């Protein structure tokens, strides 16, 4: 890969993939993509308010450090975790602002950005911005979609 590209994967989809039998293969694929020049960012929703009910046990879901550690073990890099604020009234706007901000922060064009997600609303916004999208669904799992990005 000659030019930089940004790979966005939702944290929830990563968590699901890490719980699957293909977890090690997903990690190796993500690491391989970062070695090819992809910058990897996990996206996550951030509630308006953090309360005890929003807290998650460190053991129940892999946090950014665990993701970084697993990728590093496989020779890859997690460049960041980007939290998108949740809002019932302006969620589409928040998603659009977040994606534009990510593209800007990495100094890329929309067509240099690749979103892999099962979130239909985030996919819709990304598609409207010209971001390359890869839909995770019952027929397409994260690992299969990552394989299409490898060259």
For 43-84, the pLDDT digits (tens) are 887 755 444 454 444 444 455 677 888 889 999 999 988 888
Q: Model's pTM, two decimal places?
A: 0.83
The pLDDT score that the predictor gives to residue 55 is: 47
**Distance, CA of 143 to CA of 96 (rounded, Å):** 26
**Distance, CA of 66 to CA of 64 (rounded, Å):** 6
The token duo for 125 is: 């916004």
First to last CA, the chain: 8
Q: Do 123 and 97 meet the contact criterion of CB atoms below 8 Å apart?
A: no
CA distances from 138 to 36, 41, 118, 135, 144 (A): 28, 23, 10, 10, 12
Q: Do 109 and 103 meet the contact criterion of CB atoms below 8 Å apart?
A: yes
The pLDDT score that the predictor gives to residue 21 is: 85
**Distance, CA of 51 to CA of 39 (rounded, Å):** 32
For 78-107, the pLDDT digits (tens) are 998 888 877 666 678 888 999 999 999 999
The pLDDT score that the predictor gives to residue 45 is: 79
* Mean predicted lDDT score pLDDT of the chain: 83
Q: Which domains does the chain have, with CATH numbers?
A: 5-149 (3.40.50.1000)
């Amino acid at each position: 890969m000659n030019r930089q590209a940004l790979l966005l994967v939702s944290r929830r989809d990563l968590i699901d993939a890490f719980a699957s039998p293909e977890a090690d293969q997903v990690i190796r694929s993500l690491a391989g993509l970062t070695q090819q020049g992809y910058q990897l960012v996990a996206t996550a929703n951030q509630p308006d308010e953090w309360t005890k009910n929003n807290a998650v046990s460190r053991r129940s879901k892999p946090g950014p450090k665990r993701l970084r550690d697993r990728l590093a073990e496989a020779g890859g890099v997690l460049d960041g975790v980007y939290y998108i604020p949740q809002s019932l009234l302006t969620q589409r706007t928040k998603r659009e602002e977040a994606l534009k901000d990510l593209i800007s922060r990495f100094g890329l064009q929309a067509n240099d950005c690749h979103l892999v997600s099962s979130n239909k609303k985030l996919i819709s916004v990304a598609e409207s911005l010209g971001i390359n999208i890869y839909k995770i669904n019952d027929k397409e799992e994260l690992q299969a979609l990552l394989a299409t990005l490898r060259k």
